[in-house]
Structure 1
Amino acid sequence: MTDFFKGLSQVKFEGPQSRNPLAYRHYNKDEIVAGKTMEEHIRPAVAYWHTFAQEGGDPFGGRSFDRPWFDKGMDGARLKADVAFEFFELLDVPFFCFHDADIAPEGETLAESNKNVRAIGEIFARKMEQSRTKLLWGTANLFSNRRYMAGAATNPDPEVFAYAAGQVKNVLELTHELGGENYVLWGGREGYETLLNTKFGQEQDQMARFLTLVIEHAKKIGFTGQILLEPKPQEPSKHQYDYDVATVYGFLQRYGLEQDVKCNIEVGHAFLARHSFEHELAVASTLGMLGSVDANRNDLQSGWDTDHFPNNAGEMALAFYYILKQGGLGKGGFNFDAKVRRQSLDAADLLHGHVGGLDTLARGLKGAAALIEDGEFDRLLDERYAGWDNGLGKDILAGKLSLSDIAEKVHAEGINPQPKSGRQEYLENLVNHFV
């Protein structure tokens, strides 16, 4: 045991009336909601990067945290792994996620870097034998090192593409060996700063080739988890090729990959694309692309990805509405891609962020389940579109009428439709009633 969380005990569920700041007030992992436990619905995961590797910096200032594993090489990485699994036990969560660069220092060569990652992977494997916390997904960091300043898969230099492939192969195999249920590709710099020096079509072809190679290797090694792309419109690149769910789907369709890949959707990225979180979930679910979720929020006064912990239960109720409607996240889950603030220096702050985030998800889940069980929300939606279930609407969708046939019906039957209220305010109040 380390002494990083000295004096802190495992977080327990104490109910809504509890004033204990390190107790769950709404997240009761064993409570049955809509036929499954809360934990089975939410499948929460701790993000290794924000929780243990984040230094407290922002665009205008560097490190503000003083973690005992910083700048300690492999010894620090081993200590960080010890602290991480202590944290998983304190939170009592079933999953975690990692990038290779979060868990081990980069070496002078790819071989040395991969060896370091493997060494920490062996520690993870031993710890997971004694822990209930498993791996939700792994990924490779293909954006931090300066070699990736012009992208990884989309880089003009094929040697950079090759180096990135070597990284991904290592992490994909480690994810598989650790029993990870997903593998995520986030193209942090798969985009462009200016079209003045960019062959747009060339880079799209390269990105598709890279993704195809990953899919093929996953099948080769027997990895049965989901391959996920994480949409983001900008930051750090001016324009990223995985802009939003719809863009990702169009890209995958163009290259015939839509059956092999789903999306990992982040709240903050949806906002950067000028969408709501529920919009991205609705689009993904409709297209059969909803695989997993990164739970966080942006500071709406800032124009960049601030990764606050979620605290809007109403927003999460709408999110869970779409998730429950599609039957859940399957192998996916809710990864807390969120970080404590620059001034939140204490070890306890890491717990406070996750406790509040889990309570917010729990409230959203219960609200969505109650909304669906009540039936009024769905009844009003069905009522609004009822005309498409029979008669004229049904015939139009079935292709039984040409444009001329439809126009003739309007004239012959004297069709003169009158607008009807969309009842948005009532529906907003209805959702809030269950949160």
Structure 2
Amino acid sequence: MSYFDGIDPIRFDPDGDGDLAFRHYDADRVVMGKPLRDHLRFAVCWWHSFVWEGGDPFGGQTFQRPWFPGDTMDLARQRVDAAFDLFRILGVPFYAFHDHDIRPQGASLAESNARLDEITDYMGPKMEGGGPGLLWGTANMFSDRRYMSGAATNPDPDVFAYCASIVRAAMGATVKLGGVNYVLWGGREGYETLLNTDMDRELQQMGRFLSMVVEHKHRIGLKGDILIEPKPQEPTKHQYDHDVATVYGFLKRFGLEGEVKVNIEQGHAILAGHSFEHEIATANALGIFGSIDMNRNDYQSGWDTDQFPNNVPEVAMAYYEILRGGGFANGGTNFDAKLRRQSLDPVDLVAAHVGAMDVCARGLMAAAAMLEDGALERRREARYAKWDEAENAAMLHGDATLDAIADRAEGAGLDPQPVSGGQERLENLVNRYV
């Protein structure tokens, strides 16, 4: 018996009155020359949907799933069956996982890796015949107590070596399942206090590890991207990958800016003091945009609550920057989001994804309409139009010196006056679409 028995595949039904229908996500609808499914590239995350037990800092498990506690291979296979049932019901093209999400940890490193190989043998046939693909795989290097002082940045070199083994296995599993990308989620790559931390040493270790991952990617024929996911204060006080700009500086230091891109999460962007669209625009400007984790935070909690997206204007501005940058290449929209711990029923998990997919579809269509109409871009271009004049462009691209530019300003008696940025008018413009 399926965990999702009685729930039919979700259809596009804009006029229906039930809560298990897409009102806006018509996968075949062509927007800017491409079907919505190819723009959005939805993925279901394995960890929150099938592994998380519904606990919080003040209380334990609330969810009762037939595959919990998930500590045997038989339960792992049962979880795989449920996962692919959900993928079929939603019609998503992708999913994503950590190694520890799909197989229980063994008594030894070798047994853990063997179990990963065994469970991916079970998953492979379920992906045939039009089943969902793997958007990205990754290794869990944060949950076990051995990572309490970091993974690649750990002061113990044995942990570094241990991580090399599980990353090699996870990358192999990703290639085996035809995965498009591989993510390094540095959940423990940071520190609590400088009193016991050699920051430069740890950054060197992190850079060396990432360089070896890139080398291994090419060795095993992984065709997609290696992705880093920026995040602040999660869970350590000072994270080395605080935001997109910080990650770019790290990549430049180790010569990896042409090899590694970023997977940007909405919740992490907010915790870093930025907007989601800011982080996406920054990644596009630096040439490292890869993929996104779509969720939202509770803005009153001050923590990463990983809720399903429901704010169309926020989502629209994120997709505006994605479309403005050319859209996804290898990346996609991964729902790194979890149910609230009171949402106990199988149908809750389906409905949460249905609503999130609709919100994203509405947001992307609004973003596409803004971009195609061009009103926002025309006003942006007009604001910088004087820079296109030859004399002004030469200040950036010519041989002009500071002296020459200063002399011109003084000789011409320049007296520039402020020009309105018109923010409120632009916000009103955006509201016409969202």
Q: What corresponds to 1:234 in structure 2? A: 233
Q: What corresponds to 1:109 in structure 2? A: 108
The separation in 1 between residues aligned to 2:84 and 2:372, in whole angstroms, is: 38
Kept in 2, the 8 Å contact 1:45–1:93? The answer is yes
Which one of the candidate residues 40, 60, 63 is aligned to 2:58? 60
CA deviations 1:287-344 (Å, max 9, x no partner) are 1110000000000001111000011111111111111122111110000000010100
User: Structure 1 counterpart of 2:17, which letter?
Assistant: R
Q: Does 1:327 align with 2:321?
A: no
CA deviations 1:158-210 (Å, max 9, x no partner) are 00001111000001011011100000001000010111100000000000111
Q: Given the two structures, how large is their TM-score scaled by the length of structure 1? A: 0.98
CA deviations 1:380-431 (Å, max 9, x no partner) are 0000000110144212112332222222222221211111111111111111
**Runs of at least 5 residues in structure 2 that lack an aligned partner in the other structure:** none
Q: Does 1:432 align with 2:424?
A: no
Q: Does 1:340 align with 2:335?
A: no
Kept in 1, the 8 Å contact 2:2–2:85? The answer is no
3-state DSSP of counterpart to 2:410: helix
Shifted more, 67-76 versus 41-50: the winner is: 67-76
Kept in 2, the 8 Å contact 1:235–1:304? The answer is no
Q: Does 1:18 align with 2:16?
A: yes
Q: What corresponds to 2:25 in structure 1? A: 27
The separation in 2 between residues aligned to 1:344 and 1:54, in whole angstroms, is: 12
Q: What corresponds to 2:158 in structure 1? A: 159
The separation in 1 between residues aligned to 2:21 and 2:122, in whole angstroms, is: 29
3-state DSSP of counterpart to 2:128: helix
CA deviations 1:70-109 (Å, max 9, x no partner) are 0252111110000000000000110000001111111111
Shifted more, 95-104 versus 409-418: the winner is: 409-418
Shifted more, 82-91 versus 322-331: the winner is: 322-331
Q: What corresponds to 1:313 in structure 2? A: 312
The separation in 1 between residues aligned to 2:17 and 2:308, in whole angstroms, is: 20
The separation in 2 between residues aligned to 1:125 and 1:391, in whole angstroms, is: 58
CA deviations 1:111-147 (Å, max 9, x no partner) are 1111111111111101111442111000000000000
CA deviations 1:344-369 (Å, max 9, x no partner) are 00001101111111111101110111
Instruction: Write the mapping of 1:342-361 to structure 2, written as runs, cut at 5 A.
Output: 342-361=341-360
Q: Given the two structures, how large is their TM-score scaled by the length of structure 2? A: 0.98
Kept in 1, the 8 Å contact 2:245–2:282? The answer is yes
User: Structure 2 counterpart of 1:60, which letter?
Assistant: F
Shifted more, 136-145 versus 322-331: the winner is: 322-331
The separation in 1 between residues aligned to 2:392 and 2:237, in whole angstroms, is: 43
The separation in 1 between residues aligned to 2:46 and 2:55, in whole angstroms, is: 16
3-state DSSP of counterpart to 1:121: helix
Q: What corresponds to 1:406 in structure 2? A: 405
Q: Does 1:215 align with 2:214?
A: yes
3-state DSSP of counterpart to 1:23: coil
Q: What corresponds to 1:286 in structure 2? A: 285
Q: What corresponds to 1:384 in structure 2? A: 383
Structure 1 runs (4+) deviating above 3 angstroms are: none
3-state DSSP of counterpart to 1:307: coil
Q: Does 1:40 align with 2:17?
A: no
Q: What corresponds to 1:177 in structure 2? A: 176
Deviation of residue 40 (structure 1)?
0.2
The separation in 2 between residues aligned to 1:203 and 1:354, in whole angstroms, is: 39
User: Structure 1 counterpart of 2:67, which letter?
Assistant: W
Shifted more, 404-413 versus 39-48: the winner is: 404-413
Q: What corresponds to 2:84 in structure 1? A: 85
Shifted more, 42-51 versus 414-423: the winner is: 414-423
Q: What corresponds to 2:263 in structure 1? A: 264
**Runs of at least 5 residues in structure 1 that lack an aligned partner in the other structure:** none
Deviation of residue 154 (structure 1)?
0.2
Q: What corresponds to 2:248 in structure 1? A: 249
The separation in 1 between residues aligned to 2:18 and 2:130, in whole angstroms, is: 26
Shifted more, 304-313 versus 130-139: the winner is: 130-139
User: Structure 2 counterpart of 1:313, which letter?
Assistant: V
The separation in 1 between residues aligned to 2:46 and 2:130, in whole angstroms, is: 16
Kept in 2, the 8 Å contact 1:13–1:27? The answer is yes
The separation in 1 between residues aligned to 2:192 and 2:410, in whole angstroms, is: 54
The separation in 2 between residues aligned to 1:209 and 1:195, in whole angstroms, is: 21
Q: What corresponds to 1:193 in structure 2? A: 192
3-state DSSP of counterpart to 1:137: strand
3-state DSSP of counterpart to 2:134: strand
How many residues end up aligned between the 2 structures? Answer: 433
Superposed CA RMSD: 1.0
3-state DSSP of counterpart to 1:135: strand
The separation in 2 between residues aligned to 1:376 and 1:218, in whole angstroms, is: 42
Kept in 2, the 8 Å contact 1:77–1:104? The answer is yes
3-state DSSP of counterpart to 1:258: coil
User: Structure 1 counterpart of 2:27, which letter?
Assistant: K
- Same amino acid, percent of matched pairs: 57
